[in-house]
């Protein structure tokens, strides 16, 4: 199952908090696609994912939105 969270209108720390809730609900082989635009979230979310050993990739778009695809560990 792929979870999708569009956080482009949310401000830090809300995207991080909501993402953590989604990650806790994920089962094996699930993924989460999160879209963020907030400057603080762009820094905090990848840092959290790295420290928590999640596998993820990201793509940056011209409009400043970052899409992060997270694979369940």
DSSP string, the chain: -EEEEEETT--TTHHHHHHHHHHHH--TT-EEEEEE--HHHHHHHHHHHHHTT-EEEEEE-TTS-EEEEEE--
Digit-coded pLDDT (tens) for 3-12: 999 999 999 9
Mean pLDDT throughout 32-54? 97
CATH number for domain 2-71, candidates 1.10.390.10, 3.30.1360.120, 3.30.110.40, 3.90.1150.10: 3.30.110.40
Degrees to nearest 5, angle at CA 65 with 41 and 39:
30
Question: Domain ranges in the chain?
Answer: 2-71
pTM above 0.85, yes or no: yes
Residue 2 has pLDDT above 90, yes or no: yes
pLDDT digits 0-9 by tens, 48-59: 999 999 999 999
Asked if residue 23 has pLDDT above 90, the reply is yes
Dig out the tokens for 21 from the structure. 């809730």
């Amino acid at each position: 199952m792929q979870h999708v969270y569009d956080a482009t209108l949310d401000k830090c720390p809300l995207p991080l908090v909501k993402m953590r809730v989604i990650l806790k609900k994920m089962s094996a082989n699930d993924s989460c696609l999160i879209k963020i635009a907030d400057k603080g979230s762009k820094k905090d979310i990848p840092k959290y994912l790295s420290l928590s050993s999640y596998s993820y990739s990201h793509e940056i778009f011209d409009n400043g939105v970052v899409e992060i695809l997270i694979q369940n560990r």
